[in-house]
Amino acid sequence: MDKHVIETRQLSLFYGAFQALTNIDLNIGERRITALIGPSGCGKSTLVRVFNRMNDLIEGVSVTGSVVVQGENIYKPDTDLITLRRKVGMVFQRPNPFPLSVYKNITFGLEIHRKGSNVEFPNIVEQSLRNVLLWDDLKDRLEDSAMRLTLEQQQRLCIARVLAMKPQIILMDEPCSALDPIATLKIEELMQQLKKEYTIVIVTHNMQQAARASDFTAFLYLGQVIEYGETKRIFAAPTEKQTEDYITGRFG
Amino acid sequence: MKVQLQQKIAFSVLFFCTLLVVVPVLLILVIISIKGFSAIDLGFLTEMPTSGMTAGGIFPAILGTLYLVFGAILFAVPLGVLSAIYLVEYSKDNVLSRLVRLAIVNLAGVPSVVYGLFGLGIFVLFLGFGASILSGSLTLGIMILPVIITASREALESVPRSFRIVSFSLGASKWQTIRHSVLPHALPGILTGTILGLGRAAGETAPILFTVAAFYLPRLPQSVFDQTMALPYHLYVISTQVPGIPENIRYGTALVLLLLVLLLNLAAIILRYRFRKRKKW
């Protein structure tokens, strides 16, 4: 079995009195792509936001159980969120570059963390853009506003912005839902490249995408993990009736 | 036929009313320009008044107004912007923050002469600044505070939430997020509000009446504790208090004040337009 970089034990999450996640036990393997699937409102986006504690921004959220990321329980009171979020990067549903230049978008995180000297910035920018296969397109347009890029380029740029921080884990919350099918395939190819170095957790409402692009799949329903295992197995021979109903399109 | 007639009448009435709004503005501009234009030359703008203000320039009044406006901005912008940041980014929706918001709205509705009396009581008498540029600037500053806070709040609130979320997700602290991902994008709006406040401060008479404005001073102010002449008050003085001032000097002074305020408002409009065109979220 793989080495686990994220382990949740009896994880429950409440928005006020509403329980959004119930007793989740999940091990996420290093340098694997793990997909979280399930119908709208099943808690998959909530779950992925547990791993970098972005849920903290919402008022009235409380969490019980433990979430261990690389050996550390991130819900300990003295957890340093800044370090955590540098280690666990996030790509959002809509491409959301800052209205700054391509270059400035990538160096944003570096400047925030005063990581490395400005002398290294050009190298980091180039490396990050190469990793998301944007360098050849954009090397002469580094000073252009990121808002002038295509949506696919913007989403790649957002991934590059995360990579520049040298994270270990990348969370992706429906990263392709604003993109056309061709751009979607290209981002999926990119994910296959990235998993050589990074652990990826992707939330998707698109079952074909989970089947194509992930190594492991967790099916969530009503805040619970119904079934979790290798993607091939989940899609070929689900053991749970609900999983089968969902992936065969009987509900969702 | 009847419907079409109604249509025509409605259109005419609406059009006429709209036209009516423009007419006074144009008339003010035209009349003041015609009557005052002959007074304006380089000397009028750069020289001291002479012969009991019936001749010479209005330089001390222009300079005084610039001092006062600058002082008001110096005081009101940091205070206004910082409290707007607090209100938008930090404060939760509770009784206290609602009270503060209510206070700001009410502050905007206070008549300007009340600010003048307030300034007289607090700055001139209680704090002992005397009738001085300092007292006048502070009084004007308080008067434009609501303009600046409101503009800053709107500017901050118009920065998309996603900027803040991305910034947090990259590991930025709350302050770093405000400093690097919110403020830079709110700055144009804040600047616009500041210029509008500036225009208002430049034109008001009542707040400076008791706190700083001098009837006539033979020399320019030397420190912030000196009185100064100022354009709006000077205009009031030469129009109503001193007999025998040539008409073109009175209207010339009004024209200078009007142009100053219009120019500031124009600058705000241009700025807003340019930034609105640039931002694309």
Task: With CB atoms and an 8 Å threshold, state whether B170 touches A89.
Answer: yes
B263 located within any domain: yes
How far, in Å, CA of B91 to CA of B78, rounded? 18
B213 located within any domain: yes
Profile chain A (252 residues) by mean pLDDT over runs of 10 residues.
87 94 94 94 94 91 94 92 93 93 93 78 92 91 92 94 94 92 91 94 93 95 95 94 89 72
Residue to substitute from B170, B174, B180, B279, interface A, most A β-carbons within 10 A = B170
Q: Which tokens in the block code for residue B226?
A: 């000196």
Contact partners, residue A120, CB within 8 Å, separation at least 6: none
Find the domain containing B45 and state its range: 39-49+57-278
Token pair 């993109």 in the structure block, residue: A179
**Strand partners for A4:** A29
Closest partner residue to B170 (CB to CB) among A99, A108, A147 is A108
Nearest by Cα to A84 from A68, A63, A104: A68
B29 located within any domain: no
Residue type, B173: S
| Nearest-CA distance B253 → chain A (Å) | 45
Contact indicator for B80, B107 with CB cutoff of 8 Å: no
How far, in Å, CA of B136 to CA of B210, rounded? 8
B163 located within any domain: yes
The answer, for A164 touching chain B at a CB cutoff of 8 Å, is no
The answer, for A135 touching chain B at a CB cutoff of 8 Å, is no
B144 located within any domain: yes
Assess whether pLDDT exceeds 60 at residue B191: yes
3-state secondary structure of A117: coil
CA closest to A81 among chain B residues: B171
Task: With CB atoms and an 8 Å threshold, state whether B170 touches A81.
Answer: no
Task: With CB atoms and an 8 Å threshold, state whether A54 touches B168.
Answer: yes
How far, in Å, CA of A24 to CA of A129, rounded? 36
Size of interface A-B (CB pairs under 8 A): 60
pLDDT at B49: 82
Domain A4-96+167-247: CATH superfamily, name plus number:
P-loop containing nucleotide triphosphate hydrolases (3.40.50.300)
Assess whether pLDDT exceeds 80 at residue B278: no
| Nearest-CA distance A98 → chain B (Å) | 7
B22 located within any domain: no
Query: Domains in chain B: how many in total?
Result: 1
Contact partners, residue B133, CB within 8 Å, separation at least 6: B64, B67, B68, B71, B212, B221, B223, B224, B225, B226, B227, B228
Assess whether pLDDT exceeds 70 at residue B280: no
How far, in Å, CA of A108 to CA of A143, rounded? 14
Which pLDDT tens digit goes with each residue over B216-228?
A: 888 888 888 988 9
How many other β-carbons are positioned within 10 Å of the β-carbon of residue B44?
22
Radius of gyration of chain B, Cα coordinates, nearest whole angstrom = 23
Closest partner residue to A85 (CB to CB) among B162, B171, B181 is B171
CATH of the domain at B181: 1.10.3720.10
B21 located within any domain: no
B61 located within any domain: yes
Residue boundaries of the structural domains of chain A: 4-96+167-247
Contact partners, residue B134, CB within 8 Å, separation at least 6: B71, B123, B224, B225
Closest partner residue to B180 (CB to CB) among A99, A112, A165 is A112
Task: With CB atoms and an 8 Å threshold, state whether A96 touches B163.
Answer: yes
Contact indicator for B29, B247 with CB cutoff of 8 Å: no
pLDDT at A117: 73
Contact partners, residue B251, CB within 8 Å, separation at least 6: B32, B35, B36, B39
pLDDT at A9: 95
Residue to substitute from B169, B183, B277, interface A, most A β-carbons within 10 A = B169
- This prediction has a pTM of 0.82
Which residues of chain B lie closer than 8 angstroms to A110, CB-CB? none
pLDDT at A252: 66
pLDDT at A249: 84
Confidence of residue B39 (pLDDT cuts 50, 70, 90): confident
Q: Give the Å distances, CA to CA, from A249 to A225, A245, B96, B147.
A: 18, 6, 51, 56
